[in-house]
Chains A and B, each alone.
Chain A
Amino acid sequence: MADVQKIIGDAVKVHGTERKALMPILQAIVQEKNYLSDEDMISVANVLDLSSAEVFGTASFYTFLDTEERGEYVVRVCKTISCHMAGKDEVINALEKNLKIKAGETTVDKKFTLLTANCLGWCHKGPVMLVNDEVYPELTPQKAVEIIQEHKNR
């Protein structure tokens, strides 16, 4: 388990405790553990002397600041029109079948979360997906499954 108090403490050393430190601190937590728990948001609110509602408001605005528990690898398949026309549905179907979950869900072993995402800016090389911060363009269903398989073995 990631030590969130330590992550916050380290981030505060760099970014301070002003209001503007909120985003980098939230990003630092998500970087380490892929999501913000309720307690994490309360901890950040206490350190920055903000209301928890404000921290939640900020986190909920940004798709990449997840407030629900996520797996070790967060897979985000672009659902926007170019990737749709290039066959993202087939990619998602293949991933759902391979991971035995639906889009929006996390595997029982907490290793993978499958999500759809708005435009990732790779329209010329769709369909595209992200696994955490890595970009995988020009997917086919088979390629996508191979990438997942490779992550399973990591």
Chain B
Amino acid sequence: MSKYTVNLKINEIPISVEEGTTILKAAKELDFRVPTLCYHEDLCVAGNCRVCVVEQTGSKALVAACAVPVSEGMEIHTNSAKVRSARKHIIELLLSEHNSDCTKCYKNGNCELQSLAHEYRVGDHVFADLVTGKHTIDNYSPSIIKDDSKCIRCQRCVRTCTELQSVSALAVAYKGDKQKISTFLDHPLVEVVCTNCGQCINRCPVGALIEKTYLEQVWDAINDPTKHTVVQTAPAVRVAIGEELGYDPGNRLTGKMVGALKRLGFDSVLDTDFTADLTIMEEGTELLSRLKRALVDKDPDVRIPMTTSCSPGWIKFIEHTFPEYLPNVSTCKSPQQMFGALAKTYYARKKGLKAQDIVSISIMPCTAKKYEADRPEMRSSGYKDVDYVLTTRELGDMIKQAGINFKNLPETNYDSIMGDSTGAGVIFGATGGVMEAALRTAYEIVTGREVPFDNINILPVRGMEGIREAKVKLEGCLAEWSFLEGVEVSCAIAHGLANARRLMNAVKSGKVNYHFIEVMACPGGCLGGGGQPIPTSKEIRDKRASAIYQEDENMQIRKSHENPEVKQIYEEFLGAPNGHKSHDLLHTHYTARNKY
């Protein structure tokens, strides 16, 4: 960025900003909010919705504040009569092509167009209503509903799918009044390369892209006296649920959230962090055994680097995009699915329940988890391992519907069994967290010592850089692992599928050599997931990340292999990591998929 400053006036107030700053950002510095719809700070500028128009003295046409950079001597008016009139008409025109049945819309109360219509007090049918009733609603995906009657064609979803995720399941098709956001040949999302990551949902300003909700099914299960409801909560939910309930971003609300879940009527409130720890045991063992097969046995069939498998968006992405690398993906199920499989086997047995009487529910920061739970492979217990997946947003809805005063709730502990967790489990919610948790455990298994980082915080794997690398040298290995003596374990981390694609292309080209790769489909990892509160921005992701790491530091146990319930489940039920029973319940396989 250039260091030249530009002087201008916004609403008669002088301001100096760096050259290249947009009018929108300059106005923000003076605390003037200019309304936007197509603009999103995570995405490139589109400038198509026009609601951010402002008046520039001397220019006949209004200019789009999001797209126009400041220039010397510019005089901008963000709220002149001309601006107000144009903006109001633009909103009214958008509404004329928008299904404005707001009270029945899922986004009612959290819709950017609705807020603007309210703010500008738009008139009643100033323009003819052009919503024809011929729009398609794609309801086939277990994760995402796409309703074209609500779309304002701002293309945030298209830019999200292309720039952040490099999936491009959505594109702009046709033109003029026929223009629409479309998949390939307008196929349902479930039939194309869509990874169900839900980043588009997180950025849709209206209700055109929403999650498929299972709220009523979950209420039915809670209210059914013959069913035993088991709920698990993902690591990233506890640091974001507050945003749905009136807290600022970055609050850790684990205890209150558990209390709320109990008041909602779940029979057992347990923690996905428990199976995150279990994942580390299984995945760490798998990595070490792959390394042994590669280094000692010289097995030509073993595939290195091994990649993580916790992110269902990443799994669907690699199935479509790099199917030749599926043998590199860890066979471990995600913590959600490990939990589901154990809930209807181990937990059921311990509690004296029948699997068919258990309804297993998960609260996830993720929409892809809904698809994952529906996969045919995910029925290891003989039943659907996870019956319903709710997003952080849906949990917020449940708490509001139940009339629970969240802020006054006491801190409550998770139930046992499968409620114990460690700091290693909780950092699964941040990019780099699985890597850090795995290194904490694997290093100790191999050397008998803690990882050589201050307070076991492996800082090189943390942060928000799109692709990060770290190397950990194994020295002083125990006799059993002597073949790893002196080996420098080379790791890479990517978050956001565009970064994942870059990383995989580098791996494919042979320019880089890693042993272990962590990929999270969403920017920032699960804390920035598609099921998290809206809005999500860089600043909010940073706050959630620091909350996750605080949570880790405050845990008494911070290494997965020291989780007492994890030790117990191996003694009582599973045997050893990667053992026979583990393979039946905790591991899976993948399917190569079409490239459109």
Are A and B a genuine interacting pair, yes or no?
yes
Residues of A within 8 A of B (CB): 38, 41-42, 45-46, 50-57, 60-61, 67
> Chain A residues near B193 (CB, 8 Å)?
51-53
The segment from B118-126, B167-175, B386-394, B545-553 found at the interface with A is B167-175
6 inter-chain pairs at a CB distance below 8 angstroms, sorted by A residue, are A51-B193, A52-B192, A57-B171, A61-B172, A61-B173, A61-B175
B157, chain A: closest CB distance, angstroms: 12
Structural contact, A53 and B184, CB atoms closer than 8 A = yes
Alpha-carbon gap, A51 to B163, bound state (A): 12
> Chain A residues near B162 (CB, 8 Å)?
51, 54
> Chain B residues near A55 (CB, 8 Å)?
184
> Chain A residues near B183 (CB, 8 Å)?
53
Interface centre among B170, B175, B596 (most CB of A within 10 A): B596
Structural contact, A54 and B595, CB atoms closer than 8 A = no
Structural contact, A56 and B168, CB atoms closer than 8 A = no
Structural contact, A45 and B595, CB atoms closer than 8 A = yes
Interface centre among B175, B184, B192 (most CB of A within 10 A): B184
Alpha-carbon gap, A45 to B193, bound state (A): 13
The residue of chain B having its C-beta at the shortest distance from the C-beta of A61 within the complex is B175
Structural contact, A56 and B595, CB atoms closer than 8 A = no
With A52-B193, A57-B173 known, 18 other A-B pairs at CB within 8 A are: A38-B185, A42-B184, A45-B596, A50-B168, A51-B168, A51-B193, A51-B596, A52-B595, A53-B170, A53-B171, A53-B182, A53-B184, A53-B192, A53-B596, A54-B162, A54-B168, A54-B171, A57-B182
> Chain A residues near B175 (CB, 8 Å)?
61
> Chain A residues near B182 (CB, 8 Å)?
53, 56-57, 60
Alpha-carbon gap, A37 to B173, bound state (A): 16
> Chain A residues near B170 (CB, 8 Å)?
53
Structural contact, A46 and B595, CB atoms closer than 8 A = yes
Interface centre among A42, A46, A57 (most CB of B within 10 A): A57
The residue of chain A having its C-beta at the shortest distance from the C-beta of B186 within the complex is A56
Alpha-carbon gap, A62 to B364, bound state (A): 42
Residues of B within 8 A of A (CB): 162, 167-175, 182-185, 192-193, 595-596
Alpha-carbon gap, A52 to B98, bound state (A): 28
A133, chain B: closest CB distance, angstroms: 22
Interface centre among B162, B171, B182 (most CB of A within 10 A): B171
> Chain B residues near A38 (CB, 8 Å)?
185
Structural contact, A52 and B174, CB atoms closer than 8 A = no
B412, chain A: closest CB distance, angstroms: 46
A115, chain B: closest CB distance, angstroms: 16
Structural contact, B173 and A52, CB atoms closer than 8 A = no
Per CB-CB distance, the 6 closest pairs between chain A and chain B, nearest first, are A51-B168, A57-B171, A52-B596, A53-B171, A52-B184, A60-B173
Alpha-carbon gap, A57 to B169, bound state (A): 11
Structural contact, B184 and A60, CB atoms closer than 8 A = no
Choice from B172, B192, B595 contacting A57 with Cβ under 8 Å: B172
Alpha-carbon gap, A68 to B595, bound state (A): 21
> Chain A residues near B173 (CB, 8 Å)?
53, 56-57, 60-61
Alpha-carbon gap, A38 to B170, bound state (A): 16
B132, chain A: closest CB distance, angstroms: 19
Alpha-carbon gap, A97 to B182, bound state (A): 36
